[in-house]
Amino acid sequence: MKTLSPRHLLTASALAVTVGLGFAGAQQVATETPPQVDQQAQEAANNNQPLGATVAEDRGTQVMPDSFADLVEKVSPAVVNITTTSVVAAPAGGQGPMFPEGSPFSDLFRDFGFPGMPGPDGQQQRRGPPQRSNALGSGFVISADGYIVTNNHVIDGADAIEIEFYSGKTLPAEVVGTDPNTDVAVLKVESPDPIPFVTFGDSDEARVGDWVLALGNPLGQGFSASSGIVSARNRELSGTYDDYLQTDAAINRGNSGGPLFNLNGEVVGVNTAILSPNGGSIGIGFSMASNVVSKVVDQLREYGETRRGWLGVKIQDVTPDMAEALGLGASRGAMITDVPEGPARDAGMKAGDVITSFDGVEVEDTRGLVRRVAEAPAGEAVEVVVQRDGGPQTLRVTLGRRELAEGSAADVSPQTPGESEMLGMTLATLTPDLAAELGVARDMKGLVVKSVDPEGVAADKGLAAGDIITEAGQQPVANLADLNARVDEAREAGRKSLLMLIRRAGEPRFVALPIEAAE
């Protein structure tokens, strides 16, 4: 499991380590299961029925459970412990501790200069021959034929993977597919008998305050359950597709990849990270929402990889002053800052368009648009509504595939005599020589920001020397006269701000610059 310390996020994968004379490995703690529970679980698997199917009926209209015991008994046969084995470099002479890469203990022992680890001066200590090391995590079965979901970081780099079921039975597993972007991995075991499994619930229906139950293998101690509530929704940590449920259910290292259940016995999250100053649970845990995970799992099972949609635009959120400058009723949607070669350009999208609807769903911000595009199948034609020239336009876009597009650098440079002060900046026309100095195309057109008044409106909006203004009022500007004309037009239209497209180090961004007090 990841853990967010004051400096970084930690995963919740417990590590079975060997430290000199001490602990030689994490062991499963046996948990007795009533025979009727095992029998009911196997019957459900034989009938291809998820374990939580009858939980809601048993619960009736009860809001606060007297106990979670019935729920734990029903779903626990589908929760598994995962042990991975990998080869790591060992200390010379067998001295000192050995840790898998990324162990939270490595910093501690590094400071004391143990062999095999960088010392305080950064120099690598002597290492002996490679040795095998184990790491532990959790997961859950999602089908009777043996598909298992866990975190990618639990099995990343593993040479061998072993699944231990609640009954104590163990089976080897193979990796079906992984997605580092959402930290999801799908494994497969082969069993002569159907395996008890659980299903995904609708994480969008999870409300702040709802009861949830986390199951897994914390700190290598074996099967464990903890309860809590949904503390927050839609948390974003560090990934493009992040959509985490925050919970105060105790989650520790080793819980990574384990399920977060609602009271209906459905998986609404995959336990992934914790926020902690010390590596242990302090009641702030994060589970990747099931509505994100389930779509990734479907693609990994079908293709062995993800196949996300790709629109091919650079975007930014619409701020209130940008909305006012554009005459929009509200600061919602995603503004296009650049359109390199790709599906969006082919469909006629332009820089300055504001995407307000994608495939029939309203777009609130850039994060929501990125998720919806990624969830749309590559090669599918979708309708996209943009605001342009004060009104909506509907464009039909055939999406590309993001995995193929990523890494291919798109050429995003259009656009460049005199010098003048206006809007809190000293501006000059971009010449070929200036363009060469700034590292942009010599034929780029626009205005170069030579300096910025630290107390002026431009400084307030973050403009800096070296920025290049290529558009104002959604029209190209090639010289100071063009910019003055755009300012006059905005004032005549009663606007308080003028929308400008600037480029900094080649990256485009829109800025709404106040013009009320400008001379």
Catalytic residues: 153, 183, 256
Q: How does 485-504 read in b/e, with b if 16+ C-beta sit within 10 Å?
A: ebbeebeeeebebbbbbbbe
Beta bridge partners, 285, equal 247, 274
| Spatial contact of 201 and 207, defined as CB atoms under 8 Å apart | no
d(CA 238, CA 243): 10
d(CA 320, CA 310): 28
3-state helix, strand, coil in the chain (%, to 5): 20, 35, 45
d(CA 33, CA 300): 33
Q: How does 272-311 read in b/e, with b if 16+ C-beta sit within 10 Å?
A: bbbbbeebebeebbbbbbbbbbbbbbebbbeeeebbbbbb
**Nearest alpha carbon to residue 84 among 147, 195, 174, 196:** 174
Torsion sign (Cα): 207, 212, 218, 222: negative
Q: Which two tokens stand for residue 21?
A: 């004379």
Q: What is the DSSP string of 225-245?
A: EEEEEEEEEEE--SSTT--EE
Q: Counting Cβ atoms within 10 Å, is residue 332 exposed (0-12), middle (13-18) or buried (19+)? A: middle
79-91 and 314-317 strand pairing: unpaired
